[in-house]
Amino acid sequence: SQQGEEDPQALSIQEGENATMNCSYKTSINNLQWYRQNSGRGLVHLILIRSNEREKHSGRLRVTLDTSKKSSSLLITASRAADTASYFCALETSGSRLTFGEGTQLTVNP
Amino acid sequence: NAGVTQTPKFQVLKTGQSMTLQCAQDMNHNSMYWYRQDPGMGLRLIYYSASEGTTDKGEVPNGYNVSRLNKREFSLRLESAAPSQTSVYFCASRSRDFGIQYFGAGTRLSVL
């Protein structure tokens, strides 16, 4: 399967805590992307990490990529209630197509 | 700057009816995509268009047709709707420079 698999499926934390979600895959990739989906909305791109990169930061987001283990993690620091959403990893393996995982549902409690 | 616009936002069909979902982007992107999302699942690619005049099947193309009308517009047609096509449909376009996809707000379709 070219699909990424997210872990955990659901995560509930308190405001101010850090949230970590993971994505594992089985194929070679060009890049790996993370998207957020608020309830009832479309997906919004968060961050892209290329296969030759190991770590990227964007504001409170940190993404790591380990191509030898075929895994990535997304860390959201100092979580806020507004971070409550589903988070998806997406793999770009060839051409311009993305394959999405099933997502992690993050709930941040005030 | 509207980004990706999908119409309609909601639709209820009876089994066997046909309809066309419309999508337009104003970002001058070459590539456009149609996905479906079922409860608790990620997105599955139905069809995509790498450039104006070309279309290709994705993971779940059966029961659907597409038209890349021009660079801006990419429509998805259900010729004879089935209850299994009840889903939320998303259109997206891709920035060639950055490889990022931009999504519309979705069309929520129920087939009774």
Residue whose pair of structure tokens reads 């376009």 in the numeric block: B93
Nearest residue on chain B to A34, alpha-carbon basis:
B100
pLDDT the model gives residue B71: 95
Torsion of CA B45, B46, B51, B52, to 10 degrees: -150
Peptide bond into A8 cis (omega under 30): yes
Cβ–Cβ of A42/B106 closer than 8 Å?
yes
Side-by-side strand order, sheet with B4-7: B4-7, B19-25, B74-78, B64-68
Residue A109 has pLDDT above 70, yes or no: yes
CB atoms within 10 A of CB A41: 13
- Picking from B45, B101, B105, the nearest residue to A41 by CB comes out as B105
pLDDT the model gives residue B97: 79
**Residue B62 pLDDT class (50, 70, 90 cuts):** very high
Residue B103: both structure tokens together: 């999504």
- What average pLDDT does the segment A97-108 reach? 94
- What average pLDDT does the segment A16-25 reach? 97
**B106 lies within 8 A of chain A by CB:** yes
Among B86, B74, B20, B9, residue whose Cα is nearest residue B48? B74
**Residue A1 pLDDT class (50, 70, 90 cuts):** low
B14 phi, psi to nearest 5 deg: -95, 150
Residue B1 has pLDDT above 70, yes or no: no
**A93 lies within 8 A of chain B by CB:** no
Cβ–Cβ of A103/B101 closer than 8 Å?
no
